[in-house]
Amino acid sequence: ASAAVDPAERDRRLSIVDAAAREALDEARRAVRALASPRLDDADLPLALDDLLGQWRAATGLDGELTVAGTATATGHDDVLLRVAQEGLANVAKHARGRRADVVLRYEGSEASLAIADDGLGFDPDQPHQGFGLRGMRDRLAAVGGRLEVASTPDGTRLVAHVPLGGDATPGEAPAEQPAPTEEDR
């Protein structure tokens, strides 16, 4: 014999399940929209980053500037750098509690780098985090032979994504170590 279920309790539980399902669906839709970004279809990476930063400023009310150093060259991994920029700027808006984030795209030697620096609260990058942002960026970069550096202090966070130019690195194999960022890079 089965126990009778109170209709009010059943409705309450169904309401909780319904709300959780709707929230999961909304999150999945946001992720699909982010992955389906057409920004690189009609523009090169500097233009796509400028567009992204402009939309981010309008949506968040925060300040930021894009700087491009070196001669813009198709990296073969422009889509990866754009995704890193999207996730990095989303993290700034969600977690940093700062007023600005500056983006520097640098073409130098055999690699391109994308730096995002904010003036927020910082965090301990060695502590485990609940989200997938940094892990996703690292995995995405490693898949194309790139790497991610994260430095954070109570005065802000700086992440730098590196990818080889021309897509010539072996996936999962990071390019040779580069010198530490200079004060000019920050």
Is residue 2 located within the same domain as residue 73? no
Q: Quick one: CA dihedral 121, 127, 133, 137, positive or negative?
A: positive
- Cβ-Cβ contacts under 8 Å for 37 (sequence gap 6 or more): 82, 86
Question: Rounded to an integer, what is the distance from CA 3 to the centroid of its chain?
Answer: 50
Q: Are residues 78 and 170 in the same domain?
A: yes
Report yes or no on whether pTM surpasses 0.85. Answer: no
Taking the C-alpha atoms of residue 46 and residue 106, their distance in angstroms, rounded to an integer, is 10
How many whole angstroms separate alpha carbon 126 and alpha carbon 123? 9
Residues 30 and 48 in one domain: no
Q: Are residues 14 and 61 in the same domain?
A: no
In 3D, which of 150, 84, 74 has the Cα closest to residue 107? 74
Instruction: Examine residue 185 and state whether it is found in any structural domain, yes or no.
Output: no
- Over residues 9-54, the pLDDT tens digits come to 999 999 999 988 888 777 766 665 555 555 666 568 999 999 999 9
Same-domain check for residues 98 and 23 = no
Instruction: Determine the distance from the C-alpha atom of residue 122 to the mean position of all C-alpha atoms in its chain, rounded to a whole number.
Output: 16
- Euclidean distance between CA atoms 146 and 127, whole angstroms: 22
The range of the structural domain enclosing residue 9 comes to: 1-36
Each residue's pLDDT tens digit, 76-127: 899 999 999 999 999 899 888 889 999 999 999 999 999 999 998 888 777 7
Same domain, 54 and 142: yes
Same domain, 28 and 54: no
Residue at 85 is within a domain: yes
